[in-house]
Structure 1
C-alpha cells in the first residue's frame, strides 16, 4: 500500500501538463460595463452547511505513507494560510495499518479550524466511514467511485454490484454530508439520476482532463494494456452539463451541491465551472505542483495570486457574488456542441446574459 501511494504521487507529478479543454471549448462573452466595485466583491460560498471563503478548494490527493504525510502537511499549510477548504486522499490505509493515521491527522493538526473532507472508497461499512470522518474531525466525507481505475489496477476490485446500495447506506448513516466523487472519469446524467434516487445530495463529477488514474495504474502494470485508456471518461465541462440535465429532469436543480473537478488548473477554469453550474470547484494537480516544486512561502504567494486573479475575473463578469456566475454568457466549441446535440443537452440558457 505504502509503495502504491508513493507511486501515485510520483506518476501524478510526471503526467501533469497544461489542460486546454476549457480554453479551446468555452469562452466568456466580454461585457464592457461590468458596473461593480472590486473591493465589494464577495468570494464566499455557502454549501454543505458551511461557509467557504472561496468557491474552490484543494481536492483529494494523498495520504498513507511518510512521504505523503509531508505532502499533506504542506497542503494543509496552504489551506490554512489562504483560507481554503481541503480534502485528504483515500483513508483506506488507516484500516490496513493504523500507523498511517498520522499522514491524515497532520492535516487537522496544521489547520485546526479549517474545512476538511475525509475520503474513502465503497469497500468500508458506514461505521468505518464514520471512523474516518471522526479521525480528522471532517466536515464532509468524499466517497469515491473509480471503476475504470480498479479494473486497470492489478490489485483492484472486480465486484461493483453493491455500490449503489452501499452509497444509499452511507448517505443514511454517516453523520455529516456525503459527497459522491468520481476520480477523473466524469459522471453522466444516468449516473447522477441513480445517485439522486438513493438520496445523494452532493456530487463531484470529477471529469476527464486532469490526472488519469487509468494511465497511472497502467504504468504500474507488468502486462501493458492493449487499448488507450488515457482518454476514457467525460470531460469536466461536459459532465457539468450532464449533471444539470439530470437535476432538471428530477426537479432537483439548486437542491444538490454540484462540485466540479478534473483538469481545473487556472482561475479562468474555475470561473467557467461556476458559470456551468458548479457550486464548488476542486483542484488537485495545481496544488500538488505547488508543494512539490516550491517552498511553503512561495506556494502561499502563488495561491494568493490565484485568488487575486479570480477576483479580477469576477469583476469583469460583473459578479458581485458567486451566484452571479449563473448570469454569464458562454460560447461553446464544436466538441461540446456535438456532445450536447447527441445527448439532447440544452445550451440555450448560456447564450445571452440574463438580467440581474
Structure 2
C-alpha cells in the first residue's frame, strides 16, 4: 500500500470507527452560578498562544493531506472554513510531501485558500531540521506541530519500531526553527512525566491529544490481519491528560484535543486550564456528510454555545473561565487521586 492510499484509508476508518466518548469529560460538572454578573456582549472568545492570537479558543486540528485529489479537496474546504471563521488550522503529517513532491499541492492549497490565516505545519518526531523547515516553507506556516504517535506506529503494519532520540530531535527543532514548535499527542494523551520532558526543552505549547476521540490504534487494527486489540483501550483520557499537564505550574500553554464534540466539552477543557481546543473528528464527519456550509454553521453554533456557557458561569474571558469552580467525580476522580492530584482545589475556586 502506498503512503497516499494509507492516508485515504485513515480517513475512511476514522469516519467508520467514530469516537468513543471515553474522554472522562463527562466526569466534570460545573457549580451553578445563580448571580453570574455577566452579559453576552461582554464575553470575549479571544485567546493567545505566545504571539499567536486566536479569534476563537478552538482550531481545526490535523487531519489529512498527501492522499492526492481527495485530500486536496478536503484541505481546500477546511482552509476556507478556517478563513471564514477566523480560526487556525493544522494540516496532517507532511512527510508524504517530503517523500513525494507530487503531494505538495495537497497541503499547499491551504495557504492559497487562506492567505492571511494561522496555519500549522505538521510532522512526526522523526523529522530532521531540514525536513521541518521544508514543511514550514511549504505552507508559509505560522507554527509547526510535531506529533507523537508511538501507539499508532506500533499498531500500523508498516509503522516505525524505533523511537529513540525523539526528545533530542524536537529540542533541535525548537532551537533552530523561526516559528513556534507545538508538540501534540495523537489520541493517547500526554502524561505528567512526558509534559515535564517537553517543558525542559521549552516547546511553545503542548497539545495533550487525549484518549477518547478518534482512535488510531483501532483504525490501524482495521488494517491488520492479526489485531493488536490491547492497544484499543490504551492511553490517558483527555480530561486526565489536561489536568496532568496544566498542574505543572509551567508558563507553557496547554492545548486540549481528543474527542472534543461540542461547546460543553470545550468549556470544560478551557476551565481545566487549556488555552485553546483542537477539534478534528466532528469537523471531518460534518464536512464529509453535510458539506462545507453545514460545517461553518456548526462552528457558528459552537461559538454561540460557548458564549452562552461563559455567561452562565460569570466568565467574560478565557482566563476567568479557568477560575470557575467545578466538581470532578467518577473514574477521573479515582485516577487523579491515585496520581496524587488534588481535586478539592477545583471545587473551591473563586
1:10-35: CA deviations, max 9, x gaps?
00011114626455311111111111
CA apart distance, 1:48: 2.8
Structure 2: gaps of 5 or more residues: none
CA pair 87-157 structure 1, distance change in 2 beyond 3 A: same
Q: Tell which deviates more after alignment, 278-287 or 297-306.
A: 297-306
How far apart are the structure 1 equivalents of 2:204 and 2:230?
Answer: 34
Contact 1:127 1:174 in 2 (8 A): no
- Aligned equivalent of 2:164: 161
How far apart are the structure 2 equivalents of 1:261 and 1:283?
Answer: 6
CA apart distance, 1:272: 0.3
CA apart distance, 1:198: 2.2
- Aligned equivalent of 1:311: 307
CA apart distance, 1:224: 2.5
Superposition pairs of residues 1-356 of structure 1, within 5 angstroms: 1-17=3-19, 19=21, 21-22=23-24, 24-65=26-67, 66-225=69-228, 227-245=229-247, 247-248=248-249, 252=250, 255-354=251-350
CA pair 55-137 structure 1, distance change in 2 beyond 3 A: same
CA apart distance, 1:49: 0.8
Q: Specify the SS of the correspondent of 1:327.
A: coil
Contact 2:315 2:321 in 1 (8 A): yes
Contact 1:25 1:333 in 2 (8 A): yes
TM-score, reference length from structure 1: 0.95
1:267-321: CA deviations, max 9, x gaps?
0100000000101110010110121011222221222111111111111111111
CA apart distance, 1:228: 3.0
Structure 1: gaps of 5 or more residues: none
Contact 2:90 2:119 in 1 (8 A): yes
Contact 2:23 2:258 in 1 (8 A): no
1:239-282: CA deviations, max 9, x gaps?
0111123x23xxx2xx1010110011110100000000101110
How far apart are the structure 1 equivalents of 2:227 and 2:244?
Answer: 33
TM-score, reference length from structure 2: 0.96
Corresponding pairs, count? 347
How far apart are the structure 1 equivalents of 2:98 and 2:26?
Answer: 43
Contact 1:22 1:269 in 2 (8 A): no
Q: Tell which deviates more after alignment, 15-24 or 124-133.
A: 15-24
How far apart are the structure 1 equivalents of 2:207 and 2:25?
Answer: 21
RMSD: 1.3
Q: Tell which deviates more after alignment, 198-207 or 211-220.
A: 198-207
Contact 2:25 2:239 in 1 (8 A): no
How far apart are the structure 1 equivalents of 2:292 and 2:313?
Answer: 32
Contact 2:20 2:212 in 1 (8 A): no
